[in-house]
Amino acid sequence: MALNIAFWLLAATGVAAALSVVLLRNVFRAALTLVLCFVSVAGIYITLSADFLAIVQILIYVGGISVLVILAVMLTRDVTQGSPSNKLKVPALLVAALFAGVLIFSLTQTPWAVSAEPPLEPTTSALAGKLLGQGGFILAVEIAATLLLAAILGAIVLVREK
C-alpha cells in the first residue's frame, strides 16, 4: 500500500515537473525542474524494485546530463527571457494531442502482465561487484568522468569573452 502511494506521488511529481519544463519561460528554472523530473523517475524505479535503473538514472541523468544542461544554460546570455513565441504553437499542440491519443489508446488496449512477486534480492550488490570487484569497471567510469570534466572546461574556455 505504501509503495502504491509513493509511486503515485512520484508519478504526479514527475508529470508536474515535466510540464514545468515545457511551460516555464525562465530557462534556468526549467532546467532545475528537469532535475526534479529525473529524480522522480529514479524514485519510480525504486518503487518498482529496479534498483539498477534507479542508480543509472541518478548517475547519468541527474549527475551528468543535468549538470551539462544547467552549465549550458548558465553560459547563455538571456536566460530569463526564454524562447520567443512563434507561429507553430497550434500545429505543435495538434501533434502533441495526437501523440497523447495514440499513447493513451496503446496503454489502455495492451494486456499488461503484472508479476505478483518482487525480486528476492536487491540488484545493487551485483552492480557493486561489477564496478568495485576483481576486474571491475570503476577505472573506466572514472576516466569517463574526467573526460566529461575536460569537455566542460573546454567549453567554458571557448565561450568565455576575452
Q: How confident is the model at residue 52 (pLDDT cuts 50, 70, 90)?
A: confident
Give the mean model confidence (pLDDT) for residues 66-90: 73
1-81, which class in CATH? mainly alpha
Whether this prediction's pTM lies above 0.75 is answered by no
**Cell digits for 62?**
541527474
Tell whether the model's pLDDT for residue 82 goes beyond 60: no
Domain ranges in the chain are: 1-81, 123-162
Determine the Cα–Cα distance for residues 58 and 65; give it in Å rounded to an integer: 10
Nearest to 37 by CA among 17, 20, 52: 17
**What DSSP state is assigned to residue 161?**
-
Q: How confident is the model at residue 147 (pLDDT cuts 50, 70, 90)?
A: confident
